[in-house]
A and B are shown apart, each in its own frame.
Chain A
Amino acid sequence: MDTGKIEIASLSCAFGSRQVLHDITLTLAGRCVTAIIGPSGSGKSTLLRCLNRMTDLVPDARVSGKIILDGTDILRREQDVVQLRQKVGMVFQKPNPFPRSVYDNVAYGPRIRGLRRRRELDRVVEEALRGAALWEEVRDRLHAPALSLSGGQQQRLCIARCLAVRPQVLLMDEPCSALDPAATAKIEDLITGLRRELTVVLVTHNLQQAARVSDHTVFLLDGELVEAGETATIFTRARDPRTDAYVTGRFG
């Protein structure tokens, strides 16, 4: 039984000569929401992008260390990144639905894995849209262009698109930074609900958001792990004075 637990050991990452992550060792609990916080440029997004090997797309990126998911090191050379990204989905900062219909967006993942049967696809699409709390809003316009949806709906569509391939882990890179408070609240509710089924790793600039939705919080500073622990502890009784200064808004 996979637990969705991620063990990170001595993870370092550099782009060219710029070292972005320094020797990070950390365990992300399965079926939980872990928030990664830290000032801009502290390596939050890079850490996230190591977890599904999106760093492979950057020509001069060098990643070392280990990231163990389900007992295997996903950084090893033989790792099939296509399989990895099916297990580890990702939602980006700005909603980025494909310029196609709502249906085709959600069906994209299953289709590239060879699912063709219409009824099966219909079922997967509906399930994913329900999972992203979007079904009721779009059930009558599944074939409308995805770009005609509102920003918040587009972001939930992107979440549905990930859910359609049934990942164990969902990486979210500041998913609400382009959304208004009402749309943000919906996404946060959604994240809270998703925790039952999968591991959520959430990068956020918004400390209140981290406090509201996460079980665990990781604080990065200049590419180093300063502190990780239960969210309540990090926000009220941080061990490191830098963490305390950051979460109380004294810098960052």
Chain B
Amino acid sequence: MNRFHERAVNALLTVLFWLVIGTTAGLILFIAARGIKGMSWEFVSAMPRDRGLAGGVLPAIVGTLVLTSGTALVTVPLGVLAGVYLTEYARPGPAVRLVNLAIVNLAGVPSIVYGLFGLAVFVLSLRLGPSLAAASLTLGVMTLPVVVTATREALAAVPVAYREAAYALGASRRQVILTHVLPYAKSGIVGGSLLGLSRAMGETAPILVTGVAFWLPRLPTGPASRFMALPYHLYIIATQVPGMPPARIWATALTLLGLVMALNFAAAGLRRYGKGG
């Protein structure tokens, strides 16, 4: 009976394993097979022409990369500092519990709500207008819970024995954190942040109302500039441009997928090989 039970569980887990792998691989292959036909050097390196029917998607690629960098600039310093404070400094109590609750809830807020928040606060109240800055701030706030959580988990994973060793050698709390805990947790923090950023990279709703443009066939000029971005570009050409060749739509999807996956692989690599750096 027990043996049968164990076999059944094993079989179920194997099926689930292949289901997950199969779905992921299937999705990637599906998009790659269709996208590869529309892919060319011109597609990733030229300005779009004729409402995207010809030319390339360079401004959308650059827009997405710059937007993601801007998001990182906002969210990583804030999130890491918050995570360090909560793990290393804050005394456990009602205040910390409240902050934890807030972080969990922030992670659950729908992305369009972040978009509207960004519109109200960054675009209108702070008068940034629809711009790279406003969109980066919006995505940055959205990614904050991921970075805070990744930081806290990475810090909590630093073995107590190492902290004690450093304290016992007469290190102050600041020194233990700076020279010791953070370097040890670095790969976990960076890896977790990259995962959060790759999520932000593919978001459409929050940038929709905070600065993205469909048609802006030039590269963004600064934080105040509006910008093109791959997810929104994809949405428009897939739904709003009559006569758009499917190969161009799939090639756009493939480009976005490639960027997101590059970030994810970087994150996975760091988490796996960077331990204890």
Contacts and interface: CB of A to CB of B under 8 A. Distances in A.
Interface residues of A, number: 27
Contacts of A90: 164, 168
A158 interface: yes
Contact of B168 (A89, A94, A99): A89
Contacts of A86: 170
Nearest to B184: A99
Contacts, number: 63
Contacts of B170: 81-86, 109, 112-113, 165
A55 to B, nearest CB: 11
A85 B175 CA distance: 14
B24 interface: no
A189 to B, nearest CB: 23
Contacts of B159: 96
A162 B164 contact: no
Listed residue (B159, B166, B167, B180) with the most chain A CB atoms within 10 angstroms of its CB: B167
A92 B161 contact: yes
Contacts of A165: 169-170
Interface in A66-96: 81-86, 89-90, 92, 94, 96
Interface residues of B, number: 20
A98 B168 contact: no
Q: Which of A83, A85, A94, A111 has the most CB of B within 10 A?
A: A85
* Majority SS at the chain B contact face: helix
Interface in A20-76: 52, 54, 57, 59
Interface string B143-163: 000000000000000010111
Contacts of A158: 165
B165 A112 contact: no
Contacts of B276: 99
A33 B164 CA distance: 23
Interface of B: 91-92, 159, 161-172, 175, 179-180, 184, 276
Given A112-B175, A112-B179, A162-B169, 18 more contacts: A54-B164, A81-B170, A85-B168, A85-B169, A86-B170, A92-B168, A96-B161, A96-B165, A97-B165, A98-B162, A98-B180, A99-B162, A108-B166, A108-B171, A112-B169, A113-B170, A165-B169, A165-B170
4 A-B pairs closest in CB distance:
A99-B276, A85-B170, A96-B161, A90-B168
Interface of A: 52, 54, 57, 59, 81-86, 89-90, 92, 94, 96-99, 108-109, 111-113, 158, 161-162, 165
5 contacts: A83-B170, A90-B164, A92-B161, A96-B159, A165-B170
